[in-house]
Structure 1
Amino acid sequence: MKKQLSWLLLLFIAVMTTQCKRNKSNTEIYSVAKAKKNVVFTPQSVLRYSKNLPPLVSSHRGGATKFFPENCLETFQNTLKHTFSLLEIDPHYTKDSVIVLMHDASLNRTTTGSGKVLEHTYKEITQYKLKDLEGNVTEFKVPKLADIINWAKGKTFLILDMKDVPTEQRVKEIQRNKGQSSTILMVYNYKDAKLCYDLDPTIMMEVFIPTLEKAKEFEKTGVPWKNVIAFITHQKPEDDSVINYLHTKDVLCIVGSSRTVDVQYTKDNDIDKLNQGYESILQTGADIIEANLGILAGKYMNQRNKKEYQEFINSLKNK
């Protein structure tokens, strides 16, 4: 009887182990949160220019697609099932000063509610459901920024836009949630970049640096380059001088596709043309593409640099 029980116990453990492996392979396969216990990597340690670093994607508004709304936790999880991606997100204040994720100042387009975000309490907003890009109502709810900052730790990096939340308040929200390891602050001018650095020198920033002249101007702020990734343009760069210069400072450069090749794809649904568009962006020297179609952009770049990409994922697991 004891032998029979022992055999059944061993069989049960074997089955559960196999099932766990299957589950792991099907959920957030490009997240490295479970690679090690308490694994924490920082943007400063990962997002530095290197010839060995594969091109990466930043999913604009988190990588929204059919049935997965923008600025939504479940959408972020879906994106990370398909590709490692930075996640660009948008904050807005509620009536009772809770910071939630919402691109528009109004609830109308992306939720079942209506009116301005600022005119509703957080509790009221939680009663509404999010809608996808086609207007399909989902079961997903508007998330709090604090929850997303904590969720992202050890999984990816958030790029936090401004909307109606000023630099100082966004810094405080990152500090309140110990989110320096998961959150990059988007700043629109060099004064705000200096302010962020003075308030917390451990926070990395996305800074708009479209030309070589602007790069030289930014250097005068005294903010170290290790605190910066640079957004160059939504179009093709005028020349390669600014990207080449920033690479000498080990700064990664972002070029956006959301206003160009991604828009064209929504009209013609031509995947080959879309991939050619991504390739043309990478040929400018861009290190990161900010894409509306984050999953598709990520898949193209993962296959383009398959060996380097796998080495990159493994390096995150070992940090």
Structure 2
Amino acid sequence: MALLAFTYPTLLQAQPLHRLPIKTVQDLHAYFKWTNKKTPIISGHRGGMGKGFAENSLASFENTLKYTPAFFETDPRLTKDSVIVLLHDANLDRMTTGTGKLSDYTWEELKKLHLKDAEGNVTQDRIPTLAEAIEWARGKTVLNLDRKDVPFPMTAAIIRQHKADAFVMLTVHSPEQARYYYEDNKDRMFSAFIKNKQELEAYEKAGIPAANLIAYIGPTIKPENKELYQLLNGKGIMCMISAASSYDKLPNEQERSSAYRSIIEDGASILESDRPLEVAQALKLLPATKSSSANSTKIK
């Protein structure tokens, strides 16, 4: 038993990770450019979740990459002393052993807290800084930074500081937000809220190239999506549906698996989910040309 206790973590650590084939900004843009030969891409919402793995934790990111290629939507927030950390909620109560507003704590104080998984179980992991996450992600995956309370200049500065434009993208809710980051660096990649033709035209009018965009089109399959697929794919823009607020909440794995496949069969090319490992298993049942396994290499 003592031998098993010693070797099991070592075996887990040695398990190879899927690595996205991205080293340059050109690779980043090519990876997210739609073609009719492209296989589906999985996004781990808040980094993905699972029993024993907390959202927005490096452990959750790494656990996902042990089983499937993926990139990760994550949530930067500011501490009291202006350190950028990863946590979805403005309050600590739901996902950590702390209470109250994150912004009332310094980074040194937050280091003492532990993260909880989705079931409320306390893990050994602590809140990571964005800087730690960026360095962890280098050579492995892409981070998609959602918009929370971090000022735009601070977000742009940390990406520059870590020379991370090849593997950090930004969620933007308007063309004005995209324009700020684009003017700072024209290589920036955006996950943009584009749910109709008029919103796409607004990004085009703001001068944001199609090559710099993926489009979040909503949380569900609906008839209007067909027009969006044709319009956006025609410009080389991938369409993303997020199941986090919709199909992820179906009561059993079989129903969720069917819904995940339906999203891809309907025409979406990126599927964002709190359950990226379930998504990976579900998509294996699609025809070989739709498999996501071609989107990565593996590394130790």
User: TM-score under structure 1 normalisation?
Assistant: 0.84
Gap change, CA 1:276 and 1:61, over 3 Å in 2: same
Q: How does 1:86-125 map to 2 (within 5 A)?
A: 86-125=71-110
Q: Give a deviation string over 1:125-146, Cα, whole Å, max 9, x none.
A: 0001111111111111110001
Following TM superposition, by how much is the alpha carbon of 1:312 offset from its aligned partner in structure 2, in angstroms?
3.0
Distance between the aligned counterparts of 1:262 and 1:82, measured in 2? Answer: 19
Q: How does 1:232-271 map to 2 (within 5 A)?
A: 232-237=217-222, 238-264=224-250, 268-269=251-252, 271=253
Asked whether 1:290 is paired with 2:292, we answer no
RMSD: 2.2
Q: Secondary structure of the residue that 2:73 maps to in structure 1?
A: strand
Following TM superposition, by how much is the alpha carbon of 1:24 offset from its aligned partner in structure 2, in angstroms?
9.2
| Structure 2 match to 1:67 | 52
How many residues are paired up? 287
Gap change, CA 1:141 and 1:25, over 3 Å in 2: closer
Q: Secondary structure of the residue that 1:283 maps to in structure 2?
A: helix
Asked whether 1:27 is paired with 2:27, we answer no
Unaligned runs of 5+ in 2: 1-9
Gap change, CA 1:76 and 1:305, over 3 Å in 2: farther
Unaligned runs of 5+ in 1: 1-21, 34-38
Gap change, CA 1:225 and 1:88, over 3 Å in 2: same
Distance between the aligned counterparts of 1:50 and 1:284, measured in 2? Answer: 15
Q: How does 1:171-190 map to 2 (within 5 A)?
A: 171-190=156-175
Following TM superposition, by how much is the alpha carbon of 1:29 offset from its aligned partner in structure 2, in angstroms?
3.1
Q: Secondary structure of the residue that 1:185 maps to in structure 2?
A: strand
Distance between the aligned counterparts of 1:306 and 1:74, measured in 2? Answer: 30
Q: Percent identity?
A: 33
Distance between the aligned counterparts of 1:181 and 1:90, measured in 2? Answer: 19
Following TM superposition, by how much is the alpha carbon of 1:167 offset from its aligned partner in structure 2, in angstroms?
2.8
Distance between the aligned counterparts of 2:287 and 2:39, measured in 1? Answer: 6
| Structure 1 match to 2:295 | 312
Are 1:167 and 1:187, in contact at CA under 8 Å, matched by a contact in 2?
no
Q: Give a deviation string over 1:202-241, Cα, whole Å, max 9, x none.
A: 1111110001222122211111111111100112242411
Whose relative contact order is higher, 1 or 2, with alpha carbons under 8 Å and at least 6 apart?
A: 2
User: TM-score under structure 2 normalisation?
Assistant: 0.89
State which structure, 1 or 2, has the greater radius of gyration over its C-alpha atoms.
1
Q: How does 1:131-280 map to 2 (within 5 A)?
A: 131-237=116-222, 238-264=224-250, 268-269=251-252, 271-280=253-262
1:40 maps to which of 5, 23, 27: 23
Q: Give a deviation string over 1:12-58, Cα, whole Å, max 9, x none.
A: xxxxxxxxxx969952432358xxxxx72442131111122111111
